[in-house]
Structure 1
Amino acid sequence: MTSHPYDALTPERVMDAVESLGYLCDARVFPLNSYENRVYQIGIEDQLPLIGKFYRPDRWSRQAIQEEHDFLAELAADDIPVVAPLQINGDSLFYSDPFSFALFPRRGGQAPELADDDDLELVGRWLGRLHQTGAGKSFIHRPHMNPTNDMAAAREQVLASDLMPEDYRSNYSALTTQLLELTEARMQTVSASSLRLHGDLHPGNLLLRDEVLYMVDFDDCVQGPAMQDIWMLLSGNEQEQRQQLLVIKEGYEMFRPFPARELPLIEVLRTLRIVRYAAWLCSRWHDPAFPVAFPWADSHRYWSEHILLLREQIAALQEDPIELPHY
């Protein structure tokens, strides 16, 4: 098995990197749940522990990571509850060959109960404020979402990989070709916004602590439509999702107009996530952590279920998009 740069990221290397910034570690280094990067809780002598994030080499440029940090600093300055990286002598991004890394204050908490309208309305409020700040300027080095192009690139990544069993390849190719056509047709009907976003705002990236709701993990922040930060908060059938959207809208519109014209993008963005997740597994399979964490990813069962999801998304994209009542 070929080695991976993370194989060399030992606890000693982590502590050396942190101590190079003037901290004294107490030898307690605990890995946290993260596959794309490596994240650790690091004990500090006579201080609270810190969180160290070591970015995957060659994924983002240093300019792109710095834009993430600058966005977080801007949000924090606007009193939006995010966890921004620590500034040390005016810098937030550091280097320990071959890793860029950053340190963050530790924040605990629990996921909000999105079935509770009060929690969901609170998420809507924070999203409205986040997007208000996000609309102030554009990313230069971070990705700009283009669902059709992004889906096509993910499709090619899967087809170029040998992770998918050969007997699914023809079916996958035909289904994703149809999905690309449906996606492009749907995109032609929507005038979407383009602003700086969290980009991956599923409930696991929301932490409720002492009645403050933190939005965490901006590693996938992008320039794109506001709906990208909304649709992953939805669950259940269409009627339930419509009610959830109304609650989010109530909080969101305290700060900016709700992007109702982007509702047709929900199934486009859901499809994109499904296709990109499979591509992500394919692209990371050389990382020794992935076969251990996702042992089913090369199985017939996984790809059979993936093909079924693609068929369901074809049906969803052929239906009328969800709408909200007009008052």
Structure 2
Amino acid sequence: MNNSAFSFQTLTPELILDSLAVIGIYVDSGLTALNSYENRVYQFSDENRTRYVVKYYRPHRWDKLQIIEEHQFTQQLVQADIPAIAPTTINNNTVHEYQGYLFTLFPSVGARQYEIDNLEQFDSVATMLGRIHQIGAKQPFEHRPTIGLQEYLYQPQEILLSNAIVPNKIQTDLKIILRNLIKTVEQYWHNDWQPIRLHADCHPGNILWHDKAIIVDFDDARNGPAIQDIWMLLNGDQQQQRIQLSSFIELYEEFFPFNHDQLILIEPLRAMRIVHHLAWIIERWQDPAFPRAFPWLTDIDFWQQQLKQFNQQIEAIKAPPLQLLSIM
């Protein structure tokens, strides 16, 4: 696909105002751009002083059915009294279209950023995720993909090895080390897990706090193993992560059983995320926002460090997986 198809060149302030007016929303404040590279997201107040967030989806990434599935999932969570941010329904629709752009309106929620070292907040997230996965396991996504090697390693490998951004001096080493990383992941990756609907990008930046944890931004939602929504919340050295994970799973399992065989997938999933993230940046490079945000991508020093990280990740995958603390 031509990368220009992924751009937002025609998404002008005038187009945004016109698109909102079509669904009966009239902006009475400025449009404040929020931090989002994949989509374009703006906060504003309407003529009734109601605060909204509007998201314009990157063209050709998700189709309308896939976006609707995301919205249906978050609506199911809200109906179960789980603190997630669901889209606003207007004229019986949550997905609207204007001049080639799909867009959605959300309520603007005031909250603080999640604190990774706050035990009360950590426990709240564990309970919330157990409840989310309880709902997510009731049926899989039909139109959204399932986490796997094709999307997260094989396709990114092709992108990384066929672009002009990687310095010439690095390309041979990149090809060898990346191939070794993928072979190592293949050895430890297994599909012996129930695919459930996931948030799939559950890092601390997608969690807010307002007397309880609130999960936001289901844009990457897809089917996959439950551990995908858990491992990115762990931090510190291995012993600290063992303590965190043990406490987390104890609360999580009050609502949904955890398959301990998925612990071996943590480091393969980390490797997949690293490789996929690099390819994602390269694939979006013609979007002016990406060279501004990731200027180091063309530096040879960055790629040399990246090769070291790949080798370190190979060793991490081969090491014994993270285990829960024994209960006496």
Q: TM-score, normalised by structure 2?
A: 0.95
Shift of 1:323: 1.2
Question: Which residue does 1:43 correspond to in 2?
Answer: 45
Which position in structure 2 is the counterpart of 1:254? 254
By how many angstroms is 1:272 displaced?
0.6
Structure 2 counterpart of 1:130, which letter?
I
The answer to whether the 8 A contact 1:40-1:52 is kept is: yes
1:42 is displaced (CA, Å) by 2.1
Opposite residue 134 of structure 2, the aligned amino acid is: Q
Partner of 1:69: 71
Partner of 2:238: 238
Partner of 2:200: 199
- Cα drift, residue 101 of structure 1: 0.1
Contact 2:243 2:325 in 1 (8 A): no
Answer yes or no: is the 8 Å Cα contact 2:121–2:209 preserved in 1.
no
TM alignment of 1:33-182, pairs within 5 A: 33-147=35-149, 150-182=152-184
Residue of 171, 185, 189 corresponding to 1:187: 189
Partner of 2:322: 322
| Unaligned 5+ runs, structure 2 | none
Task: Give per-residue Cα distances to partners, 1:101-152, cap 9 Å, x unaligned.
Answer: 0000001222222222222111110000000000000111111111365211
> Aligned to 2:124, what secondary structure does the other structure show?
helix
- Alpha-carbon deviation of 1:307? 1.1
Query: Over residues 33-55 of structure 1, what are the superposed CA-to-partner deviations in whole Å (9 max), with x where a residue is unaligned?
Result: 11100000122112222100000
Q: Which residue of 2 aligns with 1:29?
A: 31
Counterparts of 2:276 and 2:195, CA distance in 1:
20
Aligned length: 325
Contact 1:84–1:104 (CA<8 Å) still a contact in 2? yes
Contact kept? 2:28, 2:49, Cα under 8 Å: no
Q: How far apart are the structure 1 equivalents of 2:152 and 2:281? A: 16
**TM score, norm. by length of structure 1:** 0.95
Distance 2:289 2:120 in 1: 38
Question: What residue in structure 1 maps to residue 309 of structure 2?
Answer: 309
Aligned equivalents of 1:148 and 1:36: distance in 2?
21
In structure 2, relative to structure 1, the CA distance for the partners of 1:175 and 1:148 (3 Å cut) is farther
* Paired letter, 2:302: Y
User: Retained in 2: the 8 A contact 1:80–1:126?
Assistant: yes
Conserved? CA contact 1:121–1:248, under 8 Å: yes
Is the CA contact 1:4–1:288 (under 8 Å) kept in the aligned structure 2? no
Q: Aligned equivalents of 2:5 and 2:250: distance in 1?
A: 51
SS of structure 2 residue aligned to 1:296: helix
Q: Deviations over 1:228-256 (max 9, x none)?
A: 00000011111011011012112201101
108-117 vs 63-72, which deviates more? Answer: 108-117
Question: 1:209-248 alignment to 2 at 5 Å?
Answer: 209=210, 211-248=211-248
Q: 1:18 to 1:277 in 2, by over 3 A?
A: same
Task: Kindly indicate whether the alpha-carbon contact (under 8 Å) linking 2:5 and 2:59 is maintained by their aligned counterparts in 1.
Answer: no
Give the secondary structure class of the aligned counterpart of 1:306. Answer: helix
Distance in 1 separating the partners of 2:135 and 2:197: 8
Separation of aligned partners in 2, 1:53 and 1:125 = 28
224-233 or 166-175: bigger deviation? 166-175
- The amino acid across from 1:257 in the alignment is P
SS in 2 for 1:42: strand
2:193 maps to a residue whose letter is: A
Instruction: Provide, for residues 48-94 of structure 1, a one-character-per-residue CA deviation record: whole Å limited to 9, x for no partner.
Output: 22100000001111111111111111111111111100001211000
Report the more deviating stretch, 140-149 or 64-73. Answer: 140-149
Contact in 2 for aligned 1:69/1:85 (Cα 8 Å): yes
1:27 deviation in Å?
Answer: 4.5
Identity of aligned residues (%): 38
Superposed, 1:288-307 pairs within 5 Å as: 288-307=288-307
SS of the residue corresponding to residue 303 of structure 1 reads helix
**Separation of aligned partners in 2, 1:321 and 1:70:** 35
Encode CA deviations 1:161-182: one digit per residue, 9 max, x unaligned.
1111111111111111111111
Amino acid at match of 1:208: W
Shift of 1:3: 9.3
Amino acid at match of 1:204: G
Residues 5, 98 of structure 1: 8 Å contact kept: no
Contact 1:147 1:268 in 2 (8 A): no
Per-residue deviation, 1:212 = 2.3
In 2, the alpha carbon distance for the partners of 1:151 and 1:4 equals 21
Instruction: Give the conservation status (yes or no) of the 8 Å contact 1:121–1:250.
Output: no
